[in-house]
Chain A
């Protein structure tokens, strides 16, 4: 893999700080792999998990959790529980390809698109990524502001707390430390599980919904929007760029692909649990016929307070804050990776500040710019939240076709090209996402079509 394109001349190899840090990480992996026994396998897993869990829990971000909360409040327990689990299966299919690509080529996603398909297509995908990431980052800071607002924290202080957390994670200038700090923060995404339990859900209704997909929602414009928002809450372009770049930065090789898959599935399982818990947590609002479709994070917490108490509502608000902070970290990192890959500037979380000025500058600038937008008074931010997941779904098919072509490129992938079953699944995902996008377009441009089909 990649051999035809590696350096042909055995020129003097320059060893960089980034190489040394990555080598230390690899030594620990080799040590764990060389030993036998359950403890060594568990240690190997501990060393190799990271990008998959981070990308999945990172995607359970502010707008995603708001989408799940709105789903529970609008439709209660029913079709959307298994549907959300299905969307995460879709995310596994897609993200597994980025693990293989990263491990086989040791190149980031943006770099591969540029170098294999040229700047014309490369810039298109970068524009998609840049716009999507910036809009999503804005919504992360909206979620943080709204979540901390529940505790009476003023907006400027909430934004400063988020930026300080992002900066603290970066301070180590070490991928491993950054990854562990961000993973620790991401674990708080599971805070939605106790919140769901506090609502005392009926287990029989839950299992009925999972196995029968019932009750089905009405076929109308609102349902299409929620379907699209829930898909957009699990598969988005930044995830492709982030996981592949993080796989490369972590130093994973083809020997680690199995653990990369476990990492991805583990992340998807944890993210599904948190997403389903959020729907369950807000389902009582549907039962109480509360109109919560356009609620913000703090309003959901306030609406839940009479049902689950101040403590439960506080956990819900804290969950929103966590979702926003972790996603702000991962999404701004994905932008910085992509920028470095395209411009061939150093791009690694292992870089000291003086060697990775442009990488850290892009990362910080993306976060600060989005944070500043959120603080501008009077801006109609609610529209950004409404459309961000939809935009993510619409941008996915072009991004997936690039991924599909790269992962089937024998010149760079060698024997690790996708097997037939993986190609069938990923083609199905592309068709499903395109169909969902077209359905959304019809619902906006010609809403009467839905009425003609029996919807409202």
Chain B
């Protein structure tokens, strides 16, 4: 159960990996998705407010560049 690799001693490599990496560090383990968390009201409010802030400020930057270019 190993992807293509040219080293000769597969068992030794497997032991090396399993003894030196934490389980969550293995590429296989990372394929498992982390559960999603439910955002609470205040969190959603802050994230939405900051999104609006960013969109508005980008428009301000665009205006500044337009003014400078004129």
Contacts and interface: CB of A to CB of B under 8 A. Distances in A.
Interface of A: 1-2, 4-7, 12-20, 22-24, 26-27, 30, 105-107, 111-112, 115-118, 121, 124, 128, 251, 253, 344, 346, 355, 380, 383, 386-387, 390-391, 394-395, 397-398, 401, 405, 409, 411-412, 434, 437, 440-441, 444-445
20 contacts: A5-B32, A6-B32, A7-B29, A13-B1, A14-B28, A15-B1, A15-B2, A15-B3, A15-B17, A19-B21, A26-B21, A105-B34, A107-B30, A390-B61, A391-B61, A394-B58, A437-B53, A441-B60, A444-B64, A444-B67
Contacts of A128: 54
Contacts of A26: 20-21
B17 to A, nearest CB: 4
Contacts of A405: 43
Contact of A106 (B1, B14, B24, B68): B24
B59 to A, nearest CB: 9
Given A23-B20, A106-B24, A116 B68 contact: no
B13 A253 contact: no
B30 A106 contact: yes
Interface in B10-60: 13-14, 16-18, 20-37, 39, 43, 46-47, 50-51, 53-54, 56-58, 60
Interface of B: 1-5, 7, 13-14, 16-18, 20-37, 39, 43, 46-47, 50-51, 53-54, 56-58, 60-61, 63-65, 67-69
Contacts of B53: 397-398, 434, 437
B57 to A, nearest CB: 4
Given A398-B47, A398-B50, A12 B16 contact: no
A20 B5 contact: yes
A22 B60 contact: no
A416 to B, nearest CB: 13
B34 A5 contact: yes
A411 B16 contact: no
A117 B37 contact: yes
A27 B61 contact: no
A402 to B, nearest CB: 8
B23 A6 contact: yes
Contacts of A16: 2-3, 5, 27-28
Nearest to A112: B34
Contacts of B13: 15, 20, 23
Contact of A409 (B3, B28, B29, B37): B37
Contacts of B30: 106-107
Contacts of B1: 12-15
A253 B56 contact: no
A116 B22 contact: no
A163 to B, nearest CB: 28
A391 B58 contact: yes
Contact of A401 (B33, B50, B60): B50
Given A14-B28, A106-B24, A394-B57, A115 B34 contact: yes
